[in-house]
Amino acid sequence: MTVCEFRAGLEGVPATQSSISFVDGQKGILEYRGIPIQELAAKSTFLETAYLLIWNELPTRDVLADFEHEIQYHRRLKYRIRDMMKCFPESGHPMDALQASAAALGLFYSKRALDDPAYIRAAVVRILAKVPTMVAAFQLIRKGNDPVQPRDDLSYAANFLYMLSEQEPDPFAARIFDVSLMLHAEHTINASTFSAMVTASTLTDPYAVIASAVGTLAGPLHGGASEEVVEMLEEIGSVENVRPFLEDRLERKQRIMGFGHRVYKVKDPRAIILQQLAEQLFEKFGQDKFYDIAVELEQVVEEKLGHRGIFPNVDFYSGLVYRKLGIPTDLFTPVFAISRAAGWLAHWKEQLGENRIFRPTQIYTGLHSAPYVPIDERQQKLPPEG
Ligand code: ACO
């Protein structure tokens, strides 16, 4: 079979067959293993959902308890990983710190047995357990403090919030954070998942798979958008300034962060739930000055861009939820990585099940049989960069 049509960004080109998640971008449907996201958000937990995504079945109470227990047991970092993180520049972005630390896990757990289910399970457990600890550790290290040890008596979500602030979180706040982790856990073949799959298809180790996905998630067109949403709301500053800000930005052909999606042409179902979570948090812990600005912005964007299918995406309200939970702005994307690690691992496992190395083709647009000009006869056409 020869496929010659070039689609920029591989838009609409199937890159795999998968049974992990399903999106209908016209109807605003997202399902994990066939279960609507709304149902999971109301009834499940992040670790239960991660298990569902990775092993394709909802765990029984006992199986889930074992899984949670194993994850608790593996939350700690080796002291040499903590020491390595202490050498990172404190001004570095936490996503870079996470990418480097995730890759470093491969140095410490170098045995690779990709056809052994026990190895797969151990790698899944280790990654889900340690990614939150690494994110929290860098946060404390860059403030000049020693990282705190994880607490075994706290749930996955509560323990992360505890490791960040060194204070036990309110159970309601921890539950909201857990739901937010679930909502970000998986989303078909987005850029970072594709990156994970390409890396996985070479049969490298799972830590390299996660490191490569983290690097891809970091960009502002993908996971990095939630940070930029909060910065944009800060820049807007008041409800009155929303319309002039938007008109100016659109006139200068700039994008409005947190809006638009390659697949969704309606409001992202995750944004609907996250907005509800934000409202619940504000009701319990006090309003956020940016919320009214965000709601007004959504209305004006809908008025101006709705006819082009540009509506809030998952990143629009997630930043407001994270802010209220006390998470610093530049940790929003690492927090996204904590949840998306579940989806990356599910795709890693699925890829291994029926692996073929990714090797797409290209449409060559360069020269043929070009002359080789000797160095002394060359004329520089382009100014040197830099
Ligand atoms: N603001 C203004 N215009 C937009 C926006 C936006 N947020 N999104 C798309 N458009 C416009 C583009 O300018 C383009 O217009 P044109 O045809 O006149 O050139 C048109 O809509 C199509 O844009 P594409 O970039 O081709 O659409 P694509 O489906 O490839 O992009 C993307 C999706 C990258 C998410 C885009 O909507 C965007 O840049 N949004 C802002 C960044 C963002 O919020 N990213 C997070 C996405 S969710 C996630 O990754 C977890």
The catalytic position among 178, 205, 268, 315 is: 315
Of 240 and 222, more confident: 240
Q: Is 261 an annotated catalytic residue?
A: yes
For the chain, which domains are there?
16-220+337-353 (1.10.580.10), 225-324 (1.10.230.10)
Whether ligand 1 lies within 6 angstroms of the CB of 315 is answered as yes
pTM of the entire predicted model: 0.93
Q: Is 83 an annotated catalytic residue?
A: no
Sign of the CA dihedral running 272, 276, 282, 285 = negative
Quick one: pLDDT at residue 2?
60
Beta carbons of 293 and 335 less than 8 angstroms apart: no
Q: How far is the CA of 210 from the centre of ligand 1 (A)?
A: 25
Share of the chain above pLDDT 90, in %: 93
Burial code (b: 16+ CB inside 10 Å, e: under 16) for 199-211 equals bbbeeebbbbbbb
Whether ligand 1 lies within 6 angstroms of the CB of 65 is answered as no
Task: Check pLDDT > 60 for residue 386.
Answer: no
Quick one: pLDDT at residue 12?
87
Gap between the terminal Cα atoms of the chain:
44
pLDDT digits (tens, 9 = 90+) for 23-81: 999 999 999 999 999 999 999 999 999 999 999 999 999 999 999 999 999 999 999 99
pLDDT digits (tens, 9 = 90+) for 246-292: 999 999 999 999 999 989 999 999 999 999 999 999 999 999 989 99
pLDDT digits (tens, 9 = 90+) for 282-340: 999 999 989 999 999 999 999 999 999 999 999 999 999 999 999 999 999 999 999 99
Task: Check pLDDT > 90 for residue 381.
Answer: no
Whether ligand 1 lies within 6 angstroms of the CB of 232 is answered as no
Q: What is the mean pLDDT of the chain?
A: 95
Q: How far is the CA of 259 from the centre of ligand 1 (A)?
A: 7
Task: Check pLDDT > 60 for residue 224.
Answer: yes
pLDDT digits (tens, 9 = 90+) for 70-94: 999 999 999 999 999 999 999 999 9
- Taking CA atoms only, the protein residue closest to ligand 1 atom 27 is 262
pLDDT digits (tens, 9 = 90+) for 341-371: 999 999 999 999 999 999 999 999 999 999 9
Whether ligand 1 lies within 6 angstroms of the CB of 100 is answered as no
Whether ligand 1 lies within 6 angstroms of the CB of 203 is answered as no
Task: Check pLDDT > 90 for residue 221.
Answer: no
Quick one: pLDDT at residue 110?
84
